[in-house]
Structure 1
Amino acid sequence: MLRVAAMAVAAVGVSWIHRLHDPGVLRPWRALTGPPRPLCGGTAAFTDLVTGRPARGAQADPAALTGAIAVALAPPGPWGRWWALQPKTRARMLGTALAGSELWRLVRFGVLRV
């Protein structure tokens, strides 16, 4: 429960800062290469979620929201299901999530056409 409360406070804080000050986000990868990086849009996703636009947040970065939900619901302690998996399995799962996130972003920004 403490983990979920900390995540909620962080999300509200980031949303508040962006809403009041709009500091922008540095995007060195995108500036150098053009395509957005994996998980680009995580701040926008959480800002949209906290400000009552969950569908828009899910569209901005479904991988970041899924990861946040997984962290919030994961059993506490080092003996959770994630750590019970083989290291290669964890690496494959993370790699697949990042690749899927990047493909989503490339399609969303029009770099790839479906």
Structure 2
Amino acid sequence: MSTTSAHQSAPGPQVRPGARAAWEYRWTRIAGGRYGGPLRVLLRGSGAGVLAVAAAEVHATHDPGVLCPLRRFTGIPCPGCGSTTVFMELGAGHLGAAVAANPVTVLVGLGLLFAPLGGGKWWWRLPTRQKNVVIFTAAAVSWAWQLHRYGFLPT
């Protein structure tokens, strides 16, 4: 068989047909949390904690101000506003302030942290329409929280 066939002109390494399937299977098992779930949670949590503490320390010495472009230019917060604050407040050890900044971000972050334990399997079984409803609802709740937090909604 010739080594200069048409399918070899594609970028990237050449993979044996069976090797690709084996690699995909192995990756789905690792990503699915079947290998060392609690260890993966510990590693994710430790890594996020170290980054949060370092970012909080940098933020304490140099505050960049408002990072959200929508809020910076219009004054109106977006549904994701407060997410950076959540990270900074957790790094500084202020759990209450982190939850007050954006509780939806805290919940999503915890969900991502504990995903290797298999708690997110229900998500992948949902039809796309239901996933979209969950995402839209979370974004709407987050935006209502931000609008209330910044005084755009009556109390």
TM-score after normalising by structure 2: 0.65
**Corresponding position of 2:146:** 105
Query: In structure 1, what residue type is equivalent to 2:126?
Result: L
The 2-side partners of 1:40 and 1:85 are apart by 27
Aligned residues: 113
Unaligned runs of 5+ in 2: 1-40
> Runs (4+) of structure 1 moved beyond 4 Å?
none
Matches within 5 A, 1:1-114: 1=41, 2-75=43-116, 80-114=121-155
What letter is aligned with 2:72? A
CA RMSD of aligned residues (A): 2.0
* 1:76 shift after superposition: 5.8
CA pair 41-34 structure 1, distance change in 2 beyond 3 A: same
Shift of 1:64: 0.9
Q: TM-score, normalised by structure 1?
A: 0.85
User: Contact (CA 8 Å) 1:40, 1:61: kept in 2 or not?
Assistant: yes
Deviation at 1:71, TM superposition (A): 0.6
Cα offset, 1:9, TM superposition: 2.4
Aligned to 2:25: none
Q: Deviations over 1:78-106 (max 9, x none)?
A: x8332222111111111111110000011
* Superimposed CA distance per residue, residues 20-52 of structure 1 (whole angstroms, 9 cap, x where no aligned partner): 222234332113333101120111122222212
Q: 1:3 to 1:81 in 2, by over 3 A?
A: farther
The alignment-based identity, stated in percent, is: 36
Letter in 2 for 1:97: A
Decide which moves more: 26-35 or 81-90.
Answer: 26-35
SS for the counterpart of 2:116 is coil
CA change 1:3–1:52 in 2 (3 A) is closer
